[in-house]
């Protein structure tokens, strides 16, 4: 055993679900891989890297860069065709790691530039997908990988082939591998469409048992002191696991998915209302792999239960604000109902598994019921009319405060939530939300699809979906001489620059004579993600009746839009005497939704302090990442009852002088408007938009006309 031995798989303490999901994929790669979600420092990467050492050794055609099986070579292999009886070579199963900063060329392969320039031939240089064929492809921090690369990787994993059409190269090669991705949800989520492409998912967290934590530390220290000796102590367990995987692979083709087990699979997927049929197929495959792993020839209800626990949690999330997890009681009920069915027909197996073994084990992943408890549900009861607390300056929240008890409320403007009539629910909500010092907490209003807010100009920030930018991905919009940060080579432009000088350079033969000055790099235009900083007025004037409910619904809508456009988000609030950073800029919109849900209101309005706090956050973030352009969204009615309006206007002007693009969401209501928010927007060089118009067609291109900073 070498000094660079990997940490043994059998030495990982706890993490039973993670190890089971990895072993299921080792038995049946057709399950579709596993996504491991969890906080940092939970042995995610250690377990994945240890899995590769358990996979059986394999034979490959000697000299084939694509690892073809000599018994069944790929007929379309670019290095083929391989003759019958090709010379085999033994090799271990490969573990290929895809770094976050990888390019598309590195992933799928590209034209072999050296051979193209020296030999004048079109040759293909394989990428990481070809290297991972018949092995494991591991992507750490998969949520930070660009969506374009994630799409390519998941397409190859689903089809078992990789198609490359670029730079005059047209290649198809086999790419069947076990896909494993790890991520920290605090750094941002994957889109639901991408989550669905992973076969299984596992939530991992560090154990809270002191004895188990002590054992983890003890083993890790022993491994770091003597890696080879530590690994040698687990050789017996590792050999047993490897042999069990080989036996399960041989047993898998003979495993029977009975009609009773299939009814349970489909009943569970229907009970959790997952979209499409991929969940049913993955659950069935995982259940069959579990049966083979457990040395059975038929799928039982226990296999279906465990397969559903691994294959469904990430598929029932339709919204980034939905809580992850699976309701174990609901799962047991669905299995039991499907098991109690007794369809008539000779094909039914009377001895097939019918019901679970007594309700299963209660898990911590209970999502709390029917899934309607998300932050953005907008179904919370409204406070009763007339009970809202006024601001200290004596102003109320608008004309709706004068509505008489028993009168039907007027229809709300477009984009505003429908007001619920006052009653017992409103009284209970008011009593529950009122805190010390007159503080209140309200539920969020209904969410909607807001207009696109984008920053003017062409930036160069992190890839995303909001503003125009030069990115490593996207369409080629031109070529230029290489700068300090050299981009991908633009082959056509390079050859075009070198062609007129070949005779003067004494070219002979088929080779092309190149000079450094001939090189051109490709300029690609795509979209970038921005820093969207919300600065929200949480004073007493915003707490009046339905106003804060509508504000929370609007900010949640903008948060969801930021999630879809791959932005970083931050939240600053101001009330009383100061501004406060509720959420430092992060890629996790879930964290922003939680902070917004818990936001309490009341007190005076320190507008200037809130703007200065937001400016300080933007200043620090610019030092950390100068390429990510900011967008400040100020949500306020423009009143400044602490510090004065003049100070607030000066703060807004200072922010505008820093080339920060600003959008002011005007929450002022009533027949008479003071226009304070519009004055703030004018001082900041931005634009104001009324709260009720956030989702209206009138906002088309609103922010595109405002000035912005080009990184």
Active-site residue list: 278
Residue with tokens 């200072």: 654
CB 584 within 8 A of CB 570: yes
Residues 690 and 670: their CA atoms lie apart, in Å, by 12
Given a contact cutoff of 8 angstroms between Cβ atoms, the answer to whether 389 and 602 are in contact is yes
For residue 569, the cross-strand partners are 532, 586
Q: Say how far apart CA 689 and CA 257 lie, in whole Å.
A: 58
CB 608 within 8 A of CB 615: no
Cα atoms in the Cβ-side hemisphere of radius 13 Å centred on 394: 0
Output DSSP code: residue 357. S
The CB density around residue 501, as the number of other CB atoms within 10 Å, is 14
Q: Is 573 helix (H, G, I), strand (E, B) or coil?
A: strand
Give dist(CA 489, CA 386) in Å, integer: 67
Beta pairing class for 109-111 and 95-97: unpaired
Q: What whole-number distance in Å separates Cα of residue 182 and Cα of residue 49?
A: 12
* Cα–Cα nearest to 398, from 681, 603, 667: 667
What is the SS3 string spanning 464-497?
A: EEEEEEEEEEEEEEEEECCCCCCCCECHHHHHHH
- Tell how far CA 381 is from the center of its chain: 31
Q: Is-contact 605 547, C-beta < 8 A?
A: no
Helix (H, G, I), strand (E, B) or coil at 232: helix
Which residues pair with residue 101 across a beta bridge? Answer: none
**Could you tell me where the DSSP H helices lie in 11-127?**
16-27, 44-51, 104-108, 113-118
CA atoms within 13 A on the CB side of 51: 28
For the chain, give the number of residues.
711
Helix (H, G, I), strand (E, B) or coil at 543: coil
In angstroms, the Cα distances linking 41 to 176, 217, 227, 391 are 30, 12, 19, 47
How many CB atoms are closer than 10 A to CB 273?
10
Please give the DSSP secondary-structure letter assigned to residue 209. -
The neighbouring-strand residues paired with 429 are none
Rounded CA gap, 14 and 235, in Å? 19
Asked if residues 303 and 287 have their Cβ atoms less than 8 Å apart, the reply is: yes
Residue 544 and residue 397 in contact, taking contact as beta carbons nearer than 8 Å: yes
Q: Rounded to whole angstroms, what are the CA distances from 428 to 407, 432, 552?
A: 21, 6, 20
Q: For residue 15, what are its two tokens?
A: 């993490």
Q: Is 492 exposed, middle or buried (0-12, 13-18, 19+ CB in 10 A)?
A: middle
Long-range own/partner contacts, residues 70-79 (CB < 8 A, 24 or more apart): 74/173, 74/174, 76/172, 76/173, 77/173, 77/174, 78/124, 78/126, 78/171, 78/173
Q: Which two tokens stand for residue 553?
A: 């619904």
- Residue 172 backbone phi and psi in degrees, to 5: -130, 130
């Amino acid at each position: 055993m070498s000094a660079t031995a990997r940490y043994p798989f059998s030495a990982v303490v706890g993490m039973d679900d993670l190890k089971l999901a990895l072993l299921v994929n080792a038995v049946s790669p057709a399950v579709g891989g596993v996504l491991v979600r969890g906080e940092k420092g939970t042995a995610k990467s250690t377990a994945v890297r240890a899995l590769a050492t358990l996979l059986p050794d394999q034979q490959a055609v000697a000299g084939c860069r694509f690892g073809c099986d000599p018994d069944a070579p790929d007929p379309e292999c670019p290095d083929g065709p391989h003759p019958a009886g090709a010379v085999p070579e033994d090799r271990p199963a490969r573990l290929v790691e895809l770094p976050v900063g990888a390019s598309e060329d590195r992933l799928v392969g590209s034209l072999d530039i050296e051979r193209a320039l020296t030999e004048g031939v079109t040759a293909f240089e394989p990428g990481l997908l070809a290297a991972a064929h018949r092995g494991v492809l591991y992507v750490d921090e998969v949520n930070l990988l660009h969506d374009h690369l994630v799409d390519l990787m998941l397409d190859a994993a689903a089809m078992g082939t990789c198609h490359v059409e670029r730079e005059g190269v047209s290649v198809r090669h086999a790419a069947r591998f076990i896909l494993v991705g790890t991520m920290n949800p605090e750094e941002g989520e994957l889109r639901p469409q991408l989550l669905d492409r992973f076969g299984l998912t596992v939530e991992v967290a560090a154990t809270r048992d002191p004895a188990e934590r002590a054992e983890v530390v003890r083993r890790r220290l022993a491994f770091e002191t003597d890696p080879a000796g530590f690994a040698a102590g687990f050789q017996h367990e590792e050999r047993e696991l490897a042999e069990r995987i080989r036996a399960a692979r041989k047993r898998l083709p003979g495993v029977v998915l009975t009609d009773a087990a299939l009814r349970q699979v489909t009943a569970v997927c229907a009970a959790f209302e997952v979209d499409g049929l991929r969940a049913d197929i993955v659950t069935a495959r995982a259940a069959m792999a579990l049966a083979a792993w457990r040395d059975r020839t038929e799928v039982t209800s226990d296999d279906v239960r465990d397969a559903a626990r691994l294959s469904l949690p990430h598929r029932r999330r339709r919204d980034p604000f939905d809580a992850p997890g699976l309701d174990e009681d609901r799962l047991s009920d669905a299995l039991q109902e499907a098991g109690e069915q007794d369809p008539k027909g000779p094909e039914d197996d009377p001895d097939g598994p019918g019901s679970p073994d007594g309700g299963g084990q209660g898990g911590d992943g209970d999502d709390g019921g029917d899934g309607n408890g998300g932050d953005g549900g907008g179904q919370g009861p409204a406070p009763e009319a007339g009970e809202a607390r006024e601001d200290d300056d004596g102003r109320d929240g608008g004309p709706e405060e004068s509505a008489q008890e028993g009168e039907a409320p007027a229809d709300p403007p477009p984009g505003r939530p429908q007001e619920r009539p006052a009653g017992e629910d409103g009284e209970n909500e008011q009593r529950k939300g009122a805190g010390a010092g007159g503080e209140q907490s309200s539920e969020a209003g209904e969410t909607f699809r807001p207009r696109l807010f984008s920053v003017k100009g062409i930036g160069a920030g992190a890839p995303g979906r909001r503003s125009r930018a030069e990115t490593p991905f996207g369409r080629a919009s031109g070529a230029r001489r290489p700068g300090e940060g050299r981009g991908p080579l633009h082959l056509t432009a390079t050859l075009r620059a070198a062609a007129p000088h070949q005779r003067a350079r004494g070219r002979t033969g088929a080779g092309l004579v190149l000079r450094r000055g001939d090189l051109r790099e490709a300029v690609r235009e795509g979209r970038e993600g921005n820093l969207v900083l919300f600065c929200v007025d949480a004073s007493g004037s915003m707490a009046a009746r339905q106003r804060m409910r509508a504000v929370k619904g609007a900010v949640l809508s903008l948060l969801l839009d930021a999630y879809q456009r791959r932005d970083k988000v931050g939240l600053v609030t101001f009330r009383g005497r100061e501004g406060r950073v509720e959420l430092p800029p992060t890629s996790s919109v879930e964290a922003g939704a939680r902070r917004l849900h818990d936001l309490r209101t009341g007190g005076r309005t320190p507008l200037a302090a809130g703007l200065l706090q937001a400016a300080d956050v933007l200043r620090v973030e610019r030092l950390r990442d100068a390429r990510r352009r900011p967008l400040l969204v100020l949500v306020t009615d423009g009143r400044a009852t602490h510090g004065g309006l003049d100070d607030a206007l000066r703060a807004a002007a200072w922010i505008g002088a820093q080339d920060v693009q600003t959008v002011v969401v005007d929450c002022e209501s009533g027949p008479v408007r003071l226009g304070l928010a519009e004055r703030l927007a004018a001082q900041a060089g931005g634009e104001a938009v009324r709260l009720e118009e956030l989702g209206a067609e009138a906002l088309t291109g609103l922010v595109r006309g405002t000035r912005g900073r080009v990184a």
